[in-house]
Amino acid sequence: MSTARERILEATAELLATKAAPAISTRAICDRAGVGMPEIYRQFGDKQGLLTAVADVGFERFLANKRRNPLTDDPVADLRAAWDSHVAFALRNPHLYRLMFTPAAEPGPRAIEDAQALLLAAVERCRDAGRLRTTPELAGRSILSANVGVCLMALSFPGAFGGLDISRSVRDAVIGKVTGDEREDARVGTATVLAQALVGTLTGAAPVDPAAVDDLARALRPPTPEA
């Protein structure tokens, strides 16, 4: 048989499926859990203590879901898959996700440290494979910050930021930056060099070898299809 604490946590989580945390009253929680009002204060101190406990339960679900992600021989691809599963969780559980990642009081959910540790382990796999440009700690924090930011923007402004194409764009930019796995057209870099060379010529800041400019221009041309 479940305890009063378990029933209160479950009732709050069920109400969060359809309502944001500020809109849920302690009376509604108690009625759903079948307990008296004093029980919330006895178990959690106050409503905020209850919401923090629910956020920790949410993190347990979130991390269990992340641990089910299969690992492959490509740790960078696994990072991208982990990003996508994070976004999917947020979209399935919008009110719970906000509670987890936008705590209203200190201390926040303790399980955020477990989420960081899980991501750090994933980033360390990239380092061990020789595919990391920065420290694992900085890479992990950068990825998590961007991932959470994308999710919160998608939940707050779904019309403008809810498209998965935005998530994929930010994902590839951030993960590509920390792993050196950017997906760029090589001609873009050549175009930048050419533009800098031409500016130098026009301003007199730096003379340019005409042969070098010809080489750069040829590199920008799309390849000629074979007959």
pLDDT higher than threshold 60 for residue 65 = yes
Between CA 59 and CA 62 the distance in angstroms is 5
- Predicted pLDDT at 224: 54
- Predicted pLDDT at 2: 77
- Average of pLDDT values for 19-23? 93
Of 8 and 183, more confident:
8
Q: What is the DSSP letter of 88?
A: H
Q: Which residues does 198 contact at the CB level (< 8 Å), separation at least 6?
A: 208, 213
- Predicted pLDDT at 223: 53
- Predicted pLDDT at 200: 47
Task: Report the percent of the chain where pLDDT is more than 90.
Answer: 69
Of 208 and 47, more confident:
47
Between CA 51 and CA 102 the distance in angstroms is 11
Positive/negative CA dihedral, 180, 66, 124, 101: positive
pLDDT higher than threshold 90 for residue 207 = no
Please write the tens of the pLDDT for every residue from 118-151.
Answer: 999 999 999 999 999 999 999 999 999 999 999 9
**Full-model pTM:** 0.76
Of 59 and 110, more confident:
59
pLDDT higher than threshold 70 for residue 217 = no
Of 108 and 218, more confident:
108
Six token digits for residue 110: 């303790």
Average pLDDT across the chain, whole number: 84
